[in-house]
Amino acid sequence: MSKLILFNKPYGVLCQFTGEPGRETLASYISVPGVYAAGRLDSDSEGLLVLTDDGALQARIADPRHKLAKTYLVQVEGVPDEEALAALRTGVDLGDFVTRPCQVRQVDEPEWLWPRNPPIRERRSIPTCWLEIVLKEGKNRQVRRMTAKVGHPTLRLVRVRIGEWSLDGIAPGEWQETVTAPGRKPGAPRTRSASRLQAPSRRDAALPKGYPRRRS
C-alpha cells in the first residue's frame, strides 16, 4: 500500500523537509517518514499539498501530461473586466511560454477562509476581488504571473483542490493520511483518516462538498 498525505500548507512554509535556518519546512508539521511532495506550492501560497511515498504516483500527480486539474482561490488587486477574464481563460503569453486554456470565474470572498498570517497588504483606494482558477498545468509561479499580466496582481493564493482531493475538513497546518492501493488512480483513495500532529478543530458541516471548512 502507498501512503498519501493531504496537507494544508500555511503561508511561509517551504515545500521541503530541510531548509534555511529560521524558515519553516514540512518537517515542522509532518513526521511521516519516506513521503515527498508531489509538485510544489510556493512559500507565499497556501493550501493543498499532496505527499506520497510512491514515486510513480508522485509523477502522475505532478506531471501536467496527466492533466490533473488544480483549483486555486486567488485574491487579486482590482476587479478584472470581461476582457481580462477572457484573456486568462484562453491563454496568456508570459514570454517564456503561453498558458493553456483554463477555467476562470469571479467568486465571492470565501466565508470559511482562515485569516492569513501575516495579512495581505491592501491599498484603501484599490478594491480587491476573488477568482477561482482551474489549471491543468502548473509552471513556476504561473497563477501569479497570469494575473499580473492582465493587470491584476495576486495578493493571496490558496490551492483548494488537486484532482479529486480537496482541503475539505483540513485546517491550516493539519494533515490527513490516506492509503492507496497499488495501481489505483489519483483521486480515488481507499480509506481516509484524520491523523494529524495538531488537535482537530471544529467543523462547519454546512459548507459545500469539496471545500475546506472554517478553522475555529
| Residues carrying an active site annotation | 42
Amino acid at 215: R
Rg of the chain over all Cα atoms, to the nearest angstrom: 17
Q: In whole angstroms, give the CA distance from residue 170 to residue 115.
A: 15
Tell me if 131 sits within 8 A of 74, measured CB to CB.
Answer: yes
Q: In whole angstroms, give the CA distance from residue 58 to residue 77.
A: 34
Tell me if 179 sits within 8 A of 6, measured CB to CB.
Answer: no
Longest dimension (CA), the chain: 54
Q: In whole angstroms, give the CA distance from residue 216 to residue 203.
A: 8
Q: How many CB atoms are closer than 10 A to CB 62?
A: 16
